[in-house]
Amino acid sequence: MNSSILTSNHHSSRARNLILLIGDGMGQAHRFAGQLFAAGREGRLAMDRLPYSGQMGTMCVDPSSFVTDSAAAATAIATGVKTCNGCVAIDPMGQERATILELAKASGRSTGLISTCQITDATPAAFAAHVPMRAAQSEIARQYIERARVDVILGGGAVHWYPDGQPLPPQLCWDAPWVGAGKEGDLVARARALGYEFVASEAELRDYLARHACGARPLLGLFAGQEFFVQAEEGLGAVYNPPVSLADMTDAAIKTLSANPEGFFLMVEESAIDRMAHRNNAPLMLKGVLELDRAVQVALEFARQSPDTLIVVTADHECGGLAVAGSLDQPYPYEPGGGLLDTLLAGEDGPFPVADSDYGFVVGWATTGHTSAPVPITASGPGAERLTGSIENTDLFDTLAEAMALTEAVARP
């Protein structure tokens, strides 16, 4: 890995802890729809009550498209370098780039990754692994525990941790009888040999916390064979009843990581927003936004007691080309006697109620894929004031590294 040097102004107020919350696929319209549904026209979600706000560009440098996938987007955030779609913490020349998680680990901090998707999927992978193609999920898992030595790993995708064809433990088969698809042997056994405690249910996670209040042992928690949900269009079998909530995983990770007096880095991803947007499934997309917002509330409660904590809420990219409109708006042009909104929007969903109101809203989808739209970013804590106006996703890396005083990436083989 190439060394890279980051300049720092060495602000007197340094972020000892960083909690980065990513709503996969969550654009401004997704957040606004969540606000209308849960908090109403005048209310605000917790993620939108943070004191600093801006917008972030997401375009990649893929020669075949300017629209990013999650691997390239997360790589830009994690390393400060734009790359090609599918690449995980590797630049367009094929060189590994140091990640913010690796820098935090080298500084003596503890580190954690959380996702409601496969924990080895593209977004979390870009913070703690280096592979040319995001599909190499077993290799990503191996790098988590053998190379990056991530202290807390919580999410789905257990099939990539067990050998190909091996039946998974019963508690991981709550939604389907999964068997392993791994290419790197039994990585759960390998994690245990490296000192990780393994949990596979909410009850086992609670028991871990009761026995290790001081965060004495690294933690691997896999709670589903694949994602925490079933992706589908509305009425075609889509389900999102997570085996462990994102808020509870966030709480468990913070309790474990905060035992380190040097501080910690934690990345939290809510992936149902993206997956349900791909299916133009607005009800479960909204559930994903609100699941993320509950995790933000957990992070904010911790920051009240630890003000040297930087909290950032953003997205890797926008998904669906979402638009929000009033369900009883008159057609344009406004003429007497106008009826229901004639949106002609692709895949229109709704109406949904606006909280504390007697009217509603509808949403429309322009695509089932990603777009190049900028995404909102909100933040609080040391360094948050730099995340205002218009920035690029690579600028976020610089801000996070400076806020945590991570001035140098150490070369690694």
Q: Which of 8, 64, 70, 110 is catalytic?
A: 70
Among 390, 316, 324, 391, residue whose Cα is nearest residue 36: 324
- For residue 23, give both structure tokens: 């709503």
For 20-52, the DSSP string reads: EEEETT--HHHHHHHHHHHT-SS---GGGSSSE
Whether omega before 351 lies within 30 degrees of 0, making that bond cis, reads: yes
Rounded CA-CA distance 2/97 in Å is 6
Which helix (DSSP H) or strand (DSSP E) does residue 208 occupy? helix 202-211
Whether 357 is catalytic is no
Among 66, 292, 249, residue whose Cα is nearest residue 152: 249
DSSP structural state of residue 248: H
Rounded CA-CA distance 191/218 in Å is 9
- For residue 98, give both structure tokens: 């140091």
Rounded CA-CA distance 225/181 in Å is 10
- For residue 56, give both structure tokens: 């972030």
Number of H helices, E strands in the chain: 11, 17
- Residues labelled catalytic: 70
